[in-house]
Every structure is written in structure tokens, then in C-alpha cells.
Structure 1
Amino acid sequence: MVLFGFFALVLVAVYWVNRAVLLFDRLIADGHSAAVFLEFSALSLPSVIALVLPMASFAAAVYVTNRLIGDSELTVVQATGYSPWRLARPVLVFGLIVAVMMSVLTHFLVPASISQLKEREVDISGSVSARLLREGTFLHPGPGVTFFIRQISPEGELRDVYLSDRRQADREVTYTADRAYVVQSDEGPRLVMVSGLAQTLQKEDNTLSTTIFANFTYDVGDLIAQSQNLNLRPHHMATWDLITRPEDMAALTQTPMSRIFEELHSRFQQALLGLVAALIGFSTLLTGSFSRFGVGRQIIVAIFLLVIVKLVESAVTDPTRNNALLWPLVYLPSLVGLAIAGLVLHIAARPFRPKRVSGTEVTP
């Protein structure tokens, strides 16, 4: 368990850094603060942990078994009469502990974090300050809209504002103002422009009309709302809701029942991968005898066997998502992995040896 925690920490750090770089670029580029970045990073951690725990269990099982073989401890234990099946019992217990941890992640923490992350994405997508109040940059807060501010004063005054609205097919309106202010009203945020000019281009007859205004109010709340994405997916839903109300969840997420079943059973399947990975790593290394050169070949074979399990998982994903009756196929990767581990343990218990050829032939 100590080595499992170490490998999990290292793998989580590696995966999290890769995701954090992309997340940092996206959030900071949109004008959000470092606090928002840290919040999003924390909400994405459960998904990263659930992804790397099976690999950490495999690495821990391989490392411990390799140490036991290298120090000849496993050879001594086997000499006392312990079979490979008996030696696999603590690895089985370790794998079950990892499976329980994975179950907590896949059924509770990951759906809750993803759902909260979705809500926060919707919240910040409607943030006027993050999407509009950035000086010296041409912004596109919505389709067909361009916004520019030359400078923002310490008092919050926007200076030299440019706004191009091309959302209507028949006309294009361009606003320029010396000053502007963002104010909150009961209907939402408003942009009040002072001492400006509105230019309207009618595309039908290609005529341009200009209007000089002392002040003009522009609704930016409707503009920001266009960028919000409220679509829910099955992985946002709680496991209990997927079990008790699958029809309602399918209607809420606008997905077929096959997708709901695939998401539900894949959460149980992911929890079993930690057990499968540990057993494959241990049983494969058990097939090798003591060697001064280590068990490098067995480790490579163990990795290859894990790749086979992942290939089976990829092969059954599309059929189960397209046909609700094929949901039992979701558990096929774990069944294949357990069968591989059992076969390898059987080989370790009864290794194949070439028949001995006698040096002399006895004639009757």
C-alpha cells in the first residue's frame, strides 16, 4: 500500500501537470483569476486519480514482486510449499482494497466533481468581467460580436470602446464611444456608452447610416448568455439516479438508454480494473525463475497483457453505447483480465518443462 500510494502520487502529478497547463492557458486567457484556476484544478483531480489508480496498483504489485524475487525471499517461501495460488492471496486482498477505493471515486467523487465543474463553467461563462473587461485586446464574447477597450481606469471607467454587432443577417451595427460603464440592473448587466457614434450598415441596399448619441445602453447579459453550454451528459449524473431513474436520466441528458447503461456499468467496471491490474502484474512475474538479470522479460509480458485488456475495453465501447441489450459486454475486459491472471497462475503452478531424453537406449 505504501508503494501504491507513492506510484499513485507520481502518476497523478504527471497527469495533473499536463491537464493543468491546458486549463491554465484557457482560464487565464479568458481573464479569470488564479483562484478560479485552483478551483478548477481541484475539481478535476478526482477524474485524474480514477484514471491512474489501476496503473498505480499494477506498478506496486510488479515492484514488490520484483523485490521479493531479487532478494530470493519468494524462492524461500515457495520452497516451504506455498503454491502460486496461495501466494496470490495477499495480492487479491490488495486488489480488492484498490477496487473499493476506485468504487468510491467512480460512484461518488468523480460524478460530483464533474457536475460541480460543469456548474462552475456555466457560471464563469456568464461572467462579464472575465469575458469583456480586458483592455488592449479584441475579444469575441459571442458569435458575430467583437469588443475592444483601449484602457480601464482604476475607477472602472472604460475608455475608447469599440463594439461590432453582426448577429443579424440583414444589418451590421458598429458602436464607438469615448467612455463606457458596466452597470447591473434587474434584467442583467448593461453597457452604458457615453459620447459615441453608432454606424448601421444595411446589407440589402448597402447603405450606411450614422447616429451620434450622448449615451446609449447596450444589453450585454443576452450576449454573455449565448456562450453558456448547459448540456448535461451521463457522466454528470449520480450513480443512484442512473440505477433508479434511467429513463429520466436519458431524457434529461438527451441520450439513448444504451448510453445510460454503458455509463452505469462502466463505473463498476473501472473499479475492477485495479484488481485485474494487480493480479496480472503479480502472476506474470511469478512465472520467471530467479535470474541475476532480473525479470525484465516478465514485466514486458505483463504490460503486453494489460494492453490486451485495454484493447478489449476499446472494442466493446461502441457496441454497448449503440445497443442497450449489450451492457454485459462492459464487464468483458475484467473477465478477460481475470482469466489471463488465472491462466498465468496455472502456468506458474505447473510450468511447462521439456521432456528429458535418456542418453542410452535400452533394448529388451
Structure 2
Amino acid sequence: MGSIDKYIFRTTLASFAVVLISLTGVIWITQALRGIDLMTSQGQTILTFLGITSLVIPALVLIIAPIALMISISHTLNKLATDSEIIVMNAAGFSPFRLFRPFVYATCVVAVMVAFIAAYLAPDGMRRIKQWDADITADVLTNILQPGRFAQLDQNLTIRIRERKPGGLLAGIFVDDRRDPKERVTIVADHGTVMKNEGGSFLILEDGNLERFEVDKRDPALVAFARYAFDMSKFSQGHDVTLGIRERYLWELLDPKEDDPIYTQIPGQFRAELHDRFMAPIYPFAFAALTFAFLGTPRTTRQSRNFSIGGSILAVFGLRMVGFACSVMAVKTPLAVLVQYLMLVAGIGVGVWIIIAGLVIEPPAALLEAINKSNARLLRLFGRPATA
């Protein structure tokens, strides 16, 4: 790789990283705000909130990465054109296809990253989210116990909490336990927390009083405690999690079990998801080829470059929208998968053909003339009047 190739390669990947992090961060924030109830109504900690919401990032990157690559290639080519570097390279004998080579190297890096995310990282994150959500839902302390309400956990067990505080702290805890017919236990505690270990789930009560009424005794036994563990394992049992299609690894989609109930019910969705995973690393090559085909040749006017930028955006957007439509149709129509593969091959083929042929995609002369007349009319209407 020559010095020019290294320069373009580094510039493209640096722009790609900035765009990818920015877009992913913005979309992640919008997704994370939907799970804010983990910290409020369900009393989870900030670490739990960040842990669960961050697991969706690989799935977001899987969709955003090809688009970020397209933006980074557009930025790099626009930078080279603004500094007149493309014109100098063209005058020095660099063909468009030769200039395209460092962008192919950068695209290969992105494609490998996308392939790894599609095969393992994204489904692994989704299944962790599902398992984590199931654990939280199965926990009675986050699902049943609501502030200010008396919760009947068992026929003879009632618990009430006054409020939930940040960090999973429960304030104002009342427990009325009558499960043992020989005694009745009433507990009032200032605050408490939930602790889980290999021994089970426990409600750790602090700074409270315990009253025990026994059948054969007249007076109750009153105990003041600083710390008391109340066993809640019976009411906090986990359950098996059924993995959906998006939570399956690539090799699980390739060879599903014959007795898999989901595969038996909806084999078409398995097929559509499998081919989506296969095509995920192909989209970066299609986006790169189409973007360079529009922007990779020298331009002499600003209108021509703006037209090329708009054309590349429309081409990439149209290719992706058709891909989404084919993915939906592939659930019921296997032929849609073939259409999607042919569409990607056609996109790459047309882009590479334009690059090799050195074709310059220019806007029609009539369109440029109409744009110039419109700009002149706007200047006459809104431009500042000349001063003497």
C-alpha cells in the first residue's frame, strides 16, 4: 500500500469511526430512553440500566455501519475534490479505478466487522437482553411490589413498601407473615435492599422491629434489629427463555434443530434472517461502489458535485429500501431472496463498471440551466439592493 493509499485509507476509516459513533450514540440514546423505567418503576441501578441498553448497540451498528461508510467515503472524496487533490491525481495518471483501491481496503475492514457482528455479536447481545429482562420480570420485588400498595405474595404473606429510591433502595417496608399457623410475624423496617446469591434471593431489612405472636403465649416477642434477612427465594424464581430468531447465532440459523418449535412454525422467517446475515457484509461493498461511481471523478462545478452527492444518496437509499422490502417478502416468497442477491450484485457491478470506464455522471444541461435561473430569480427577490 503506497503513501497515497495509506492517506486515503486512514482518512476514510477515521471519518467512518466518527460517523459511526455519532449516529450510533444518537440512536442508542433514543432507544435507551424507552427503558428508563428500569431505574424508576422497577428500582434497578444505573449499572443495570446501562448494561441492558448497551447490549442493543451491536444490532444498531449492523444497520448503521454501511451508511456510515457511505458518508465517510463521500466526505473523503469531497475533501480530496475541495483541495483539488483528485484533479492532481488524475493529471498524474491515476485512473478512477486506481483511486478506488484504498476505499476497497477500508470497505473490507468494515465488511469483516459487520460479518462478525451479524454472525455472533448482535445475536449474543439480543439474547442477553432477553435473559436479563426475563430475570427482572420474574423477580417479584421488581414486578409485583409497587410503592404504596399492599402486595399479597402468598395466601398468608403481605408486603408493602413506601417508595423506591435510586440504587435499588426500598424505603418504609412492612411485612406481615402468617404462613406458619403457630405464629404470626410482623416486621417494620426503615429501609432495605435486595440481595441475590447462590443461596437464593433475600430482602435485607435494616433498622427495624420484629414482632412475633405465638399461639401458646400471651404477649408478643418484640425484637429490634439493625439487619435482618427475609428469604424471598420462593417468590423470585427464574424461568426458561425462548430464543427468537434474532437471538440465534449464524450457525444456529444454518442448522436449526428439527424439533425447534419456532422453526417448525415459521421456517420462512428463519430463511429470511439467515440470508439477511449473509448479505450484511455485502452491503458495504455495494454502497462503496455506488458512492465512488458518483463522486470519484473530477468535477469542475459545484452544481455538478452537489448533483453527484444527491444521486449517490438516492442510489444507496433506494438499494437499501428494496433490500428491506425483499427481506419482508422472503418470509413467504423464497424468490425474493434471489432478487435481493441479484440487486446487490447489480449495484456492485454497475458501480464498478462506471469506475473502470471512467464515466462522469453529470446532471442534464436543462436541469443546470433551470437551477441557475431559479437561483438568479431568488437573488433578485431576496438579494440586498445595491447601495451607491
Question: Shared fold by TM > 0.5?
Answer: yes
SS of the residue aligned with 2:174? strand
SS of the residue aligned with 1:234? coil
Shift of 1:302: 0.8
The counterpart of 2:124, out of the listed 112, 135, 154, is: 112
Find the aligned partners of 2:314 and 2:63 in 1 and give their Cα distance: 19
Partner deviation per Cα, 1:269-314 (whole Å, 9 max, x = no partner): 1111122222222221135613356822211111100111012112
| Cα separation, partners in 2 of 1:157 and 1:254, compared to 1, 3 Å | farther
Of all paired residues, the percent bearing the same amino acid is 23
- In structure 2, the partner of 1:310 is 320
Find the aligned partners of 2:21 and 2:281 in 1 and give their Cα distance: 18
Find the aligned partners of 1:325 and 1:254 in 2 and give their Cα distance: 20
Partner deviation per Cα, 1:103-154 (whole Å, 9 max, x = no partner): 011111111111121111111111122223442369999xxxxx964469x9
Q: Does 1:299 align with 2:314?
A: no
Shift of 1:324: 4.5
Find the aligned partners of 2:36 and 2:61 in 1 and give their Cα distance: 19
SS of the residue aligned with 2:40? helix
The counterpart of 1:273, out of the listed 266, 283, 299, is: 283
Letter in 1 for 2:355: L
Contact 2:55/2:129, CA 8 A, preserved across alignment: yes
| Cα separation, partners in 2 of 1:344 and 1:135, compared to 1, 3 Å | same
Q: Please, which runs of 5 or more residues in structure 2 have no aligned partner?
A: 1-12, 154-158, 177-184, 204-210, 213-231, 365-388
- In structure 1, the partner of 2:69 is 57
The counterpart of 1:22, out of the listed 34, 54, 70, is: 34
Q: Does 1:72 align with 2:72?
A: no
Letter in 2 for 1:269: M
| Cα separation, partners in 2 of 1:155 and 1:80, compared to 1, 3 Å | closer
Partner deviation per Cα, 1:58-78 (whole Å, 9 max, x = no partner): 111001101111111111211
Letter in 2 for 1:33: T
- In structure 2, the partner of 1:165 is none
Letter in 2 for 1:280: L
- In structure 2, the partner of 1:264 is 274
- In structure 1, the partner of 2:102 is 90
Contact 1:28/1:34, CA 8 A, preserved across alignment: no
The counterpart of 2:113, out of the listed 90, 101, 107, is: 101
Contact 1:183/1:189, CA 8 A, preserved across alignment: yes
Shift of 1:41: 2.3
Find the aligned partners of 1:293 and 1:306 in 2 and give their Cα distance: 20
| Cα separation, partners in 2 of 1:117 and 1:229, compared to 1, 3 Å | same
- In structure 2, the partner of 1:159 is 174
Deviation larger for 66-75 or 87-96:
87-96
How many residues are matched?
309
Letter in 1 for 2:266: P
Deviation larger for 334-343 or 35-44:
334-343
Contact 2:96/2:358, CA 8 A, preserved across alignment: yes
| Cα separation, partners in 2 of 1:46 and 1:138, compared to 1, 3 Å | farther
SS of the residue aligned with 1:159? strand
Find the aligned partners of 2:195 and 2:120 in 1 and give their Cα distance: 40
Contact 1:287/1:344, CA 8 A, preserved across alignment: no
| Cα separation, partners in 2 of 1:118 and 1:257, compared to 1, 3 Å | same
- In structure 2, the partner of 1:201 is none
| Cα separation, partners in 2 of 1:223 and 1:254, compared to 1, 3 Å | farther
Contact 2:290/2:315, CA 8 A, preserved across alignment: yes
**RMSD of aligned C-alpha atoms?**
4.2
Contact 1:250/1:257, CA 8 A, preserved across alignment: no
The counterpart of 2:250, out of the listed 223, 239, 250, is: 239
Contact 2:120/2:249, CA 8 A, preserved across alignment: yes
Task: Say which structure, 1 or 2, has more relative contact order (CA 8 Å, 6+ apart).
Answer: 1
Instruction: Give TM-score, length-normalised by structure 1.
Output: 0.70
Find the aligned partners of 1:140 and 1:335 in 2 and give their Cα distance: 62
Task: Trace 1:159-198 onto structure 2 (pairs within 5 A).
Answer: 159=174
SS of the residue aligned with 1:55? helix
Letter in 2 for 1:289: R
| Cα separation, partners in 2 of 1:222 and 1:51, compared to 1, 3 Å | farther
Letter in 2 for 1:299: I
Contact 1:249/1:260, CA 8 A, preserved across alignment: no
The counterpart of 1:322, out of the listed 314, 318, 332, is: 332
Letter in 1 for 2:325: A
Instruction: Give TM-score, length-normalised by structure 2.
Output: 0.66
SS of the residue aligned with 1:322? coil
Shift of 1:222: 8.8
